[in-house]
């Protein structure tokens, strides 16, 4: 499994492998970046914060890496497992996650509650075989419903997945 160094939040906007950028309308200090490196996608975000108590400013960032076809898996799983009833082939009632394998890596999509810290829902995308540094926890990203469906994240993901399917990426 290919490993990746942390993306530099100060230079990610000019990274040569940058394929899409999405300003986070739910948090104007935050921007999401999509990079394609070989057969992998990195979703990264960078957010500039200033601490009121100290006046200190710094960049916070996070990233998740997965096989590029994992993006289509995310979208298909959302559509086929979470947006359909059990009778239509969706998840059984009371089941809130689904695990699949893409290019030998286990991925998980989980319904997230309080994803926006205000009681709103969302979805957690988890790379089960990739761990946080110095941790047993898997890398994951939790996207609020608002970010996904009202603020363009799902459309950006669909555009990228379509370009991958068409062989453009």
Residue 117's CATH number:
3.30.2450
Boundaries of domain holding 22 = 12-165
Domain tally, the chain: 1
In this prediction, residue 27 carries a pLDDT of 83
Within-domain flag for 48:
yes
Report pLDDT digits (tens) over 9-58. Answer: 989 999 999 999 999 888 888 899 999 999 999 999 988 888 899 999 88
Report pLDDT digits (tens) over 109-143. Answer: 999 999 988 999 999 999 999 998 888 999 999 99
| Mean pLDDT to the nearest integer, 94-121 | 95
In this prediction, residue 153 carries a pLDDT of 96
Within-domain flag for 2:
no
Beta carbons within 8 Å of 135's beta carbon, 6+ residues apart: none
Within-domain flag for 7:
no
Within-domain flag for 4:
no
Instruction: Measure the CA–CA gap between 161 and 154, rounded to whole angstroms.
Output: 10
Could you tell me which residue, 26 or 79, shows the higher pLDDT? 79
Within-domain flag for 1:
no
In this prediction, residue 71 carries a pLDDT of 98
Instruction: Measure the CA–CA gap between 147 and 153, rounded to whole angstroms.
Output: 6
Within-domain flag for 146:
yes
User: What band does 89 get if pLDDT is binned at 50, 70 and 90?
Assistant: very high
Within-domain flag for 5:
no
Given a cut of 90, whether residue 156 has pLDDT beyond it is yes
Please give the model's pTM, rounded to 2 decimal places: 0.91
């Amino acid at each position: 499994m290919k490993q990746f160094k942390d993306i530099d939040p100060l230079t990610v906007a000019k990274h040569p492998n940058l394929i899409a950028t999405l300003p986070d309308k739910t948090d104007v200090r935050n921007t999401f970046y999509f990079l394609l490196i070989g057969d992998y996608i990195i979703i990264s975000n960078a957010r500039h914060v200033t601490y009121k108590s100290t006046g200190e400013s710094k960049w916070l960032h996070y990233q998740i890496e997965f096989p590029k076809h994992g993006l289509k898996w995310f979208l298909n799983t959302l559509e086929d497992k979470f947006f359909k009833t059990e009778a239509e082939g969706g998840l059984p009632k009371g089941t809130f996650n689904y695990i699949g394998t893409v290019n030998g890596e286990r991925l998980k999509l989980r319904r997230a509650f309080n994803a926006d810290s205000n009681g709103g829902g969302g979805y957690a995308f988890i790379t089960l075989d990739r761990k946080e540094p110095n941790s047993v926890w898997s890398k994951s990203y939790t996207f609020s419903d608002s970010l996904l469906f009202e603020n363009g994240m799902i459309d950006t993901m669909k555009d990228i997945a379509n370009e991958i399917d068409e062989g453009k990426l």
